[in-house]
Structures are given as C-alpha cells and as structure tokens.
Amino acid sequence: MAPSIYRTVRDANLLEVWKNTLQLLIEADEWFLVGYSLPSEDIAIRSMLVRAFHARKPHERPRVTVVQFGNDARPRYELLCPACVYLDAGLAAWLQASE
C-alpha cells in the first residue's frame, strides 16, 4: 500500500480494513514486520501501529520482530518498540535461518 500521504482514508472499505487490522494487531501476541521501512511520512500506519502496541499493558504487548535489509529503519522501529528484535540481513537470510 502506498504511503498515507498519497491516499485518502475516507473510503468506507479502506476504513473497515484499517479498523479490522487495528483489532488484529491489538490481539496478536507476535508481530513480524518484513521489508517495511516505517517512513515518517506514513502517519496513518505509524499511528495504527503505535495505538495497537500501546493498547495492552506493557507485560502483555506483542513480541515484535522486524526483518529489513540494512539498518536505516532501526531507529524508527526502536522508537516504536524498544524491545523489538531487529534483523538487518534481509528476508532471504531470515528465511534461510528459519529453516
């Protein structure tokens, strides 16, 4: 999905998707965020992630694993979730290590 500055979230179908996504993120015990750089321009998605992460008590929050190629997004993810596991070798390396 394109960054939120390039789309409108007024569409009823998109609003329903976002509402359901927020609820699923709140209920999930673990998040895997793969290949998403969490750009500062993408306010809507960042806001949804922050709301979902902080919707639960600190000891009940999901485990967050970030899979990226490189460390450019690390500060943004560590700001969102200081205890996240940040893997910087990319998707192929992560999948290979998971076998």
Q: What is the pLDDT of residues 75-85, one digit of tens each?
A: 999 999 999 99
Q: Return phi, psi of residue 52, to 5°.
A: -65, -40
Half-sphere exposure of 56 (CA within 13 A, CB side): 19
pLDDT at 1 over 80: no
Average pLDDT, the chain: 89
- Model confidence over 49-69: pLDDT tens digits? 999 999 999 999 999 999 999
Render pLDDT for 7-48 as a digit per residue (tens, 0 to 9). Answer: 555 677 888 888 999 999 999 999 999 999 999 888 889 999
What pLDDT, on the 0 to 100 scale, is given for residue 9? 58
With both helix axes pointing from N to C terminus, report the angle between 43-54 and 12-27 in degrees, rounded to the nearest 10.
Answer: 30
Secondary structure of residue 74 in the 3-state scheme = helix
Cβ-defined contacts of 85-91 (< 8 Å, 24+): 91/34, 91/35, 91/67
Is 70 exceeded by the pLDDT of residue 5? Answer: no
pTM confidence score:
0.83
6, pLDDT greater than 70: no
85 phi and psi angles, rounded to 5 deg: -95, 115
The rounded distance, in Å, linking the Cα atoms of 31 and 47 is 16
